[in-house]
């Protein structure tokens, strides 16, 4: 199987049942998926859809830290041996047992399988003030593009 870069979000409050094909979908224009698609520079959005595996941790109107932790554990087991993760925001980082550090990187050990690299970026909700920091969008775009390039080599 080809290596993938996973975009991992929190939840979609309008989605009560799992439908991963709509997780972080780049429509409607005010959605987190549409904002992320634009931040990452994917136009048309078909390239965004083709490039990334997209997943929300939970499907509920209310955030559940316990269910998010369980989903994070399951996702790490599901990720392929050459995959990488992009964790969107502090809630997602916490679900993976991390303190959120913008543009921080980590590698999740999965003995005996290869570890999974991960990059933390601000959540694209439209409410996150970190996107207002000078150069943040460009630094995130480059860091995610680097992950994509690394996964593409030898694929």
Secondary structure of residue 27 in the 3-state scheme: coil
Count of helix runs (H) and strand runs (E) in the chain:
5, 5
Q: Which CATH number characterizes residue 61's domain? A: 3.40.470.10
pLDDT at 15: 67
For residue 62, give both structure tokens: 């209310």
pLDDT at 53: 96
The pLDDT tens digits of the residues spanning 80-135 come to 999 999 999 999 999 999 999 999 999 999 989 999 999 999 999 888 999 999 99
For residue 46, give both structure tokens: 């078909």
pLDDT exceeds cutoff 90 at 1: no
**Which domain covers residue 124, as residue numbers?**
5-152
The pLDDT tens digits of the residues spanning 3-26 come to 899 999 998 776 667 778 889 999
pLDDT exceeds cutoff 80 at 2: no
Total domains in the fold of the chain: 1
**What is the number of other CB atoms lying within 10 angstroms of the CB of residue 96?**
22
Mean pLDDT of the chain: 92
Q: Report CA torsion sign: 22, 12, 87, 110.
A: negative
């Amino acid at each position: 199987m080809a290596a993938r870069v996973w975009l991992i979000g929190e939840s979609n409050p309008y989605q009560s049942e799992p439908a991963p094909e709509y997780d972080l979908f780049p429509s409607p224009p005010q959605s987190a998926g549409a904002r992320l698609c634009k931040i990452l520079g994917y136009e048309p959005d078909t390239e965004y859809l083709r490039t990334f595996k997209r997943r929300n941790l939970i499907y509920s109107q209310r955030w559940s830290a316990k269910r998010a932790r369980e989903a994070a554990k399951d996702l790490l087991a599901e990720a392929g041996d050459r995959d990488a993760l992009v964790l969107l925001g502090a809630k997602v980082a916490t679900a993976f047992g991390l303190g959120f550090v913008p543009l921080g990187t980590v590698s999740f050990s999965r003995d005996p399988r290869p570890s999974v690299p991960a990059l933390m970026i601000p959540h694209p909700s439209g409410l996150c003030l970190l996107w207002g920091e000078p150069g943040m969008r460009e630094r995130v775009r480059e860091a995610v593009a680097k992950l994509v390039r690394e996964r593409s080599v030898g694929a």
